[in-house]
Amino acid sequence: MLKIIGKFFKILGVLIILATLTVGSFFAVRTYKNTKSVNSYRSDVQKLADQAGVGDFTDTILGIMYTESKGKGTDLMQSSESAYGSRGKIDTQQESIESGVKHFAESYQQAQAAGCDLNTAIQAYNFGTKYIQYVQKNGGKNTVELAEEYSRDVLSPGYGNDQQATYRYMQLQSVLYNGGYLYQNGGNMFYAEIVQMNRRFIMLYQRFSNG
């Protein structure tokens, strides 16, 4: 009986390892394809970022693109709302990149002027630039805890979610932090962390592609 149980657990262990490798391979391949797609826009982003005075943050901007669209579709930077105040107004990828770079540059410059960190500027890309003043009044450094406060107490109620209603959001950062949820109409409080993770994917791809 003990031999049978031992054999069962060995088989189970092998199956778990195979499943883990399969899932890991799937995510690795998907990440590689998405990163390659986003990196194909590097020259356009670099040029516009240089013109806007944020050329040193090209990888960060590409990380934003990865987060927003994974390099697919027309509105690559999901910048229609920042440019026009509503979704679906961007007609070309070029316009999306131009608007997205402009939005990031404005967020970065305002964050610098307010004495806030880079992650504040990144988070403001998702929350809006009023978030910068909120961070300035609360220590000058973006954290998930501070972003959650702003999402829950300012942004979400401002768009009608007075009951602090949430919805499932199953990303690594959210699962580890709160089990996986966001506040309805409250933006993404994990945005800066996710962009920074995707920026690292972009940099890793660029390093290996350059040999």
Query: Which positions ≥6 away from 45 have C-beta within 8 Å?
Result: 58, 61, 62, 65, 97, 101
3-state helix, strand, coil in the chain (%, to 5): 70, 5, 25
In the chain, where the domains are located? 2-209
- pLDDT at residue 29, rounded to an integer: 74
- pLDDT at residue 85, rounded to an integer: 76
CATH of domain 2-209: 1.10.530.10
Position 72, amino acid: K
Residue 111 has pLDDT above 60, yes or no: yes
pLDDT in tens, 86-102: 778 899 999 999 999 99
Question: pLDDT: is 164 or 17 the higher one?
Answer: 164
Query: Which positions ≥6 away from 38 have C-beta within 8 Å?
Result: 62, 65, 66, 70, 71, 202
Report the run of H or E that residue 183 belongs to, with start and end: strand 181-183
Q: What distance in Å separates the CA atoms of residue 39 and residue 59, rounded to the nearest whole number?
A: 9
Q: How confident is the model at residue 11 (pLDDT cuts 50, 70, 90)?
A: low
Q: How confident is the model at residue 80 (pLDDT cuts 50, 70, 90)?
A: confident
- pLDDT at residue 124, rounded to an integer: 98
Q: What distance in Å separates the CA atoms of residue 91 and residue 101, rounded to the nearest whole number?
A: 16
Residue 26 has pLDDT above 60, yes or no: no
Averaged pLDDT, 58-70: 97
Q: Please state the pTM of the whole predicted model.
A: 0.86
